[in-house]
Structure 1
Amino acid sequence: MTSPLLDLPGAVAGNGPDAPVAAHYGSLYGEQRTLAAGEGFVDLSHRDVIRVSGPDRLTWLHSLTTQHLQALAPKTWTGVLILSPQGHIEHSFVGLDDGESFTAHTEPGAGAALIAFLDRMRFMMRVEVTDVTAELAVTWRPRGAVEEAASWYDAYELVPRDQLTTYAAAAGPAAGSWAFEALRIARGEPRVGLDTDARTIPNEVGLVGPAVHLDKGCYRGQETVARVHTLGRPPRRLTLLHLDGSENQLPDVGSDLVAPDGKVVGRVGTSARHHELGPIALAIVKRSVPVDAQLTAGGLAAAQEVVVDPEVGLHVRPLR
């Protein structure tokens, strides 16, 4: 849904899945610094929003997902995944419960598939799943300095869509999606569907903890998550790439990540120009690739900064 905030002074529309909202309002680096300081807001009103209502909603969602939702405190944002039987990420959303319903947002265009899956799993449970994207818009407004924030999720807000312009006037200054993405990438926060592929498991991209609760009952795909967490060494790992900035370009999502010997060793995800770090990107790379290996991302030289340690999980490996 195209945002009315594209009518604000200086607004320049984004591209790809973020085309319906502003990429920036005239000052990419200034907008990043504003957000990093804990001020301003980001229009994410193009994200799909769903609502799960009914007395069984939290028990039902708890049984289907990676997150512990039965005792979820009211109005507490949390990340949630739905996995395949093999542990691959199929759906991702961020939501909160208000005591009457659980409302969540997901990637633009991903809501229909998520609702379809949930509807198939209702059986006799007293729940109802509805698309409320036309009713509610998503924004992101930091509560303090981004570097000190405990959770990226806590800064999300749901705004009545017909009040979005009024909200912007009170919450400003506005920052675009490019500023939001640059800070997210620098934090090593993967965007499911862009920084992941159909084979991605949560352990590979640092989502065990933020979106996967390790102290809950069985859910689809749990065996894979638990095995890798316990024994360590996921097959791939998320890395932050520091890109060669001598050329005015960024790699496309899905570009090959290439080792010095010419072999493809991974996949590039999202990229951005950061106000302090310069051009950066997230990528998934084979665990066997040394963390100090110099790589090529979409034709650009790239140095790595560890996001997910290749030995993650070994600290709980049983002694023999």
Structure 2
Amino acid sequence: MAEEELTATPIERDIVIVEGSDARSYLQTQLTQDIEAIPLGQSVWSFILDPKASIEALVRVTRIGHDRLAFDIEPGYGESVRARLDGLLFRTDARFSQATWPGVAWRGDGSSTRTFDAPIVSVCSGRSPEGVDVIGPNVSAPVNLPSADLEAMRIHTGWPAMGSEIMEGITPAMTGLIDATVSFDKGCYTGQEPVARSYHRGAAPTKRLVRVSAAPGTVAAGSEFRINDEPAGQITSMLATGDGLGYLARKFDCPADATIEEARLRVTELA
């Protein structure tokens, strides 16, 4: 296998810090992951859901102290995450603060074995390429390493983003991230019942995240596509190369050939 070039790309993340003697137990009732089980210094990805199991946010949660946790999320979404969680407190010792921290997305061979000193040091896993995200108030990128196209990496690995793949009405099963974001061994949390019921029944979601590919410049995000002249799905992200992501309705199998007016595209599963 060819070596992947080591890159260090500047990033920025909205941060919500939750601390206090009740912080972990409170968040355990609000997130899909087992927050109580996060080891000190480690991170997990989790959804925040509404009562009907629609995704409100996809966040990374890092335990940065005994009773201190940091959420990081795409810029522009920190305020809504804080408002969603902070607004439900009642006689609970859980204090919230908010910030924007710089970071560096290290990617390529050897990136995940380097040593870093920052509040958030999260090794990429699952569908992501080898790498580690280093985030903190004093983090800066080295000047002697190139940057990577993180959006292209995200799309090629099929990782959903807030505002494109994650929007109103999207549930965890639709994203294909159940195994990476949901614990079925913890207690109750907001939206748990619909998630657990569909998972244990093996019910397929009404639509699922898929890869799409077309000739460069022929289709755009937001376009709806058809298979056998039937409405089949919608593109959510698209690169200039013609590679993208989208949602495909449950009734359609793939790989499949689809059309958007005169343009043709190929639809394939993420895995």
Asked if TM exceeds 0.5, the reply is yes
**Which amino acid letter does the alignment assign opposite residue 143 of structure 2?**
A
Counterpart residue number, 2:220: 251
Counterpart residue number, 2:109: 144
**Which amino acid letter does the alignment assign opposite residue 169 of structure 1?**
V
CA contact (8 A) 1:202 1:225 kept: yes
Where does structure 1 lack aligned partners over 5 or more consecutive residues?
1-33, 309-320
Give the secondary structure class of the aligned counterpart of 2:35: coil
Note the alpha carbon deviations across 1:38-88, whole angstroms, 9 max, x for none. 61122221x311111112212211111101010201121211111111111
CA contact (8 A) 2:28 2:36 kept: yes
Query: How far apart, in 2, do the equivalents of 1:145 and 1:268 lie?
Result: 34
TM-score w.r.t. the length of structure 1 is 0.72
TM-score w.r.t. the length of structure 2 is 0.84
Query: How far apart, in 2, do the equivalents of 1:86 and 1:61 lie?
Result: 18
Give the secondary structure class of the aligned counterpart of 2:182: coil
Task: Report sequence identity in percent.
Answer: 24
Query: How far apart, in 1, do the equivalents of 2:44 and 2:260 lie?
Result: 32
Query: How far apart, in 1, do the equivalents of 2:162 and 2:182 lie?
Result: 14
**Which amino acid letter does the alignment assign opposite residue 168 of structure 1?**
P
Q: How does 1:85-164 map to 2 (within 5 A)?
A: 85-100=51-66, 101-133=68-100, 136-142=101-107, 144=109, 150-151=125-126, 152=128, 155-161=132-138, 163-164=139-140
RMSD (Å), alpha carbons: 2.5
- The alignment covers a number of residue pairs equal to 254
Query: How far apart, in 2, do the equivalents of 1:201 and 1:98 lie?
Result: 28
Alpha-carbon offset, residue 95 of structure 1: 2.3
Counterpart residue number, 2:171: 201
CA contact (8 A) 1:96 1:102 kept: yes
Cα–Cα, structure 1 residues 242 and 145, in superposed 2: closer, same or farther, change >3 Å? farther
More helix by share: 1
Counterpart residue number, 1:174: 147
Counterpart residue number, 1:191: 161
Query: How far apart, in 1, do the equivalents of 2:106 and 2:88 lie?
Result: 34
**Which amino acid letter does the alignment assign opposite residue 142 of structure 2?**
A
**Which amino acid letter does the alignment assign opposite residue 106 of structure 2?**
R
Q: Which moved more, 1:62-71 or 1:224-233?
A: 224-233
Where does structure 2 lack aligned partners over 5 or more consecutive residues?
112-123
Runs of 4+ in 1 over 6 A off after TM superposition: none
Give the alignment partner of residue 212 of structure 2, picking from 234, 241, 245.
241
CA contact (8 A) 2:211 2:270 kept: yes
Cα–Cα, structure 1 residues 53 and 228, in superposed 2: closer, same or farther, change >3 Å? same
Alpha-carbon offset, residue 214 of structure 1: 1.9
Cα–Cα, structure 1 residues 269 and 73, in superposed 2: closer, same or farther, change >3 Å? same
